[in-house]
Structure 1
Amino acid sequence: MSIETIKMAKLADYWNHVANRKKFNIKICSLSIKNVPLFEDADITINSALTSICGRNGIGKTSLLKLIYGILSKDICNVGIFSSSDIDNISIDIIINGEKQTFTSSLGDGLRNVEYFDASSMALKIINEINTSPNKKWMVQYIKFLSFAK
């Protein structure tokens, strides 16, 4: 198996991950944060299918996403600078297949299909794969084909 074949398989796999995310049937409805270091107390209601988290560098956008990931997945070791006791007062209401459920750091099992997806590092990997390929033009055409094939 050639290096090019392996690179093409990796590239196709990245695009499969993107396509699979569109099939999820889970929606976050609300988020409650109380007594969490570095965050103000907040009750956030999410009414949109697409929500943006905006703010200047270092304000805590990524930390917030890692906290949400840690609570939903129960992967508490990957919540960045926070310890498990720091996130005891966070609750997340989600709808799964039409049924509302509440998640906290201690309540319930983690969801199996929750993944922390760092789009910027994934994009950099894809760009690096393309740039280091001797068949760069062909790979770009393949990406265009994949995006139109759906």
Structure 2
Amino acid sequence: MTVPAAEGSIYWSFADVEARLVEAMQFQWRTERGAWAFASDGPWHLIVRDWWDWAAHEDRPVPRIPLSREQMARMEEASAWLGHAPERDRKLVVLAITALAAGRKSVPWRALLKPMGLKLGAHGLRKRYARAVTCICEALNGAELRA
């Protein structure tokens, strides 16, 4: 939840940014586009392919719910925020947000080791994720303070 700061600006907390990224992921799953531009190396194409495979297997059409303009704008705004995260951590943020958007209560850090090309360091991944989302928060809050 965004909290008004001084004179109409908005303070973005870690939880706010994470929730908006999760929301954007869920909006993305509702569209026909296959991937976010920033996640070209991420797992988005696999998720969409799984959805289509499920629909084909079940002999049902894939339900696509169109997004409103406001939802599309929110999705695009949140996806642009990943440009504020360190480049090496963007894939990690996408993987973690994918797990949260799928309904998990917490991110399975050990399961993310292999997609990140690591064998050890689940705690390190959690810390990298926290730093990356904090970078986004700082960039957003800094922009609000400058405006």
Q: Which has the higher contact order (CA 8 A, sep 6+)?
A: 2
What TM-score do you get using the length of structure 1 for normalisation? 0.24
What TM-score do you get using the length of structure 2 for normalisation? 0.24
Higher fraction of strand = 1
Higher fraction of helix = 2
